[in-house]
A and B are shown apart, each in its own frame.
Chain A
């Protein structure tokens, strides 16, 4: 089996085998080269032009390192053998499954990543819009099925099916059973996805906010079991001696969220891009028409938006963004919430266009999940939440809920005047 290497700006060299190379070279995966990780963030931070392609390869690499860090500890191996019934062959197969899950976890992203999720169509059965994960599993089960299943390296050694890779991503326990445990490396409070994008986004943007000690994190990853009254489940966490690295990871997430992802001008362009996309096409094809969906990427959508030449697109071209005129504190009081409602009422009264931004959507995109705890695991296996150890984390997990009101550039002065009148 031939091994290839690629140079990665975060980790140095990343290795992959010839089977993985064929998957990477498949057009459905190559499309991720044409989907930017952070949409139009480069209008604020010019370095932010990186794509889902390098992030996906980074997640494959980091998920593997996490898997190895867990499995190489005898204590963890015992837990996994008792709980899931692994033998060495089982570990080898699922190490490869985790690599593929990491590599393909974002393959179903719509153009400009999250910014265009609002034009994903409605899932009539569930009466909720589709999510990019629905497209990811449709691509894995469809266009990528053959290249995943038919390579001789897979057939001889692992026999991993496309269905298993999709099941890992969607957490389909009816297919993977207890092996779905490894989903925690793809999506959880300690996953390779978030751990990678914090480092990668920081590097490309040129900020230091998202940096933390990844080597220390890997060394301290371990398993434990929750108390019986809570759930008695096996959990991934950080060994007690390493709780400060878990703390620094939470601080990095908070800093990246407040300084980059929820940056007031970056959010303005997320909104404008979303509106320009909505004016260009009604919605993307359903996951059942996956071949059609795959035709859409940043390049093709850019061309379609250019043809349509809507008001929002013209504003993007001129970097004429909407302007923020009011915001609450990070943890608003009830009175502040009332004040924002008052401003909205006055703007409506004077027929001034406005947009209210709340962090719910963007927190969901970047998985800034204040409700998720990192578990700290003592040598005896006892599990406690990080917030018991760290007063900083305890404080940071108390809900960022800043709300902002934006108006069009040309109406900023008028709107400000109305707000001040309102205050008086």
Chain B
């Protein structure tokens, strides 16, 4: 049963690191969902992500966010025009519920992807999911698939994001 605290503790640590490194960043539920997908890929966890038109989504991760809030690890606020704003709590600390390896993965993810916006992270996570699950490895096909889901975005912009995130090679 103790392992039930691990998920919320991971969420807490992720939010804490994000807000420490990028104090002005709006951390919403989309940011958490997409970064947790990247965490799953690197940690071999199983949060049961499935793919939707808006990218990978895990209701398990959604639950962990709720539990983290109930346990007082994070504070969640809904702003009508901007969506969710999630902050770490000052008082609680469940960092000892997660391993040093897990912390290291989160630190690396925050360093590498923390500056991306929710929409950009959605593009990155979608591209990784397509690569990992649907055997789409060709850079052109990956960009095409992402663009079909985000038709209002320019191809160059999407390519640039995917290159910066290391989903496709810089040579593409």
CB-defined contacts of A403 to chain B, threshold 8 Å: 1
Contact of B26 among A229, A358, A369 (CB under 8 A): A229
**B19: Cβ under 8 A from any A Cβ:** no
Q: What 1/0 mask marks residues of chain A from 323 to 351 whose CB sits below 8 Å from any chain B CB? A: 00000000110000100110000000000
Residue pair B51, A172 in contact (C-beta under 8 Å): yes
**B59: Cβ under 8 A from any A Cβ:** yes
- Which of A37-45, A178-186, A264-272 is found at the contact surface with chain B? A178-186
Distance of A131 Cα from B28 Cα, bound (Å): 30
Residue pair B134, A358 in contact (C-beta under 8 Å): no
**A68: Cβ under 8 A from any B Cβ:** no
Give the contacts of A219-237 with B (CB-CB under 8 A): 226-235
- Which of A100-108, A150-158, A380-388 is found at the contact surface with chain B? A380-388
Residue pair A371, B64 in contact (C-beta under 8 Å): yes
Residue pair A173, B151 in contact (C-beta under 8 Å): no
Distance of A177 Cα from B150 Cα, bound (Å): 10
Residue pair B83, A174 in contact (C-beta under 8 Å): no
Interface size on B, residues (CB 8 A): 46
Residue pair B63, A369 in contact (C-beta under 8 Å): yes
Contact of A229 among B65, B67, B118, B126 (CB under 8 A): B118
**B136: Cβ under 8 A from any A Cβ:** yes
Contact of A227 among B60, B82, B122, B151 (CB under 8 A): B82
Q: A174-B141, A180-B51, A370-B66 are in contact. Are A232 and B119 (CB under 8 A)?
A: yes
**B110: Cβ under 8 A from any A Cβ:** no
Give the contacts of A142-178 with B (CB-CB under 8 A): 170-175, 177-178
* B positions within 8 Å CB-CB of A: 1-2, 4, 26, 28-30, 44, 46, 48, 50-54, 58-67, 69-70, 78, 80-84, 117-119, 122, 126, 130, 134, 136, 141, 145, 148-149, 151
* A positions within 8 Å CB-CB of B: 83, 85, 127-128, 170-175, 177-178, 180-181, 183-184, 187-188, 226-235, 331-332, 337, 340-341, 356, 358, 360, 364, 367, 369-373, 382, 384-385, 388, 397-399, 401, 403
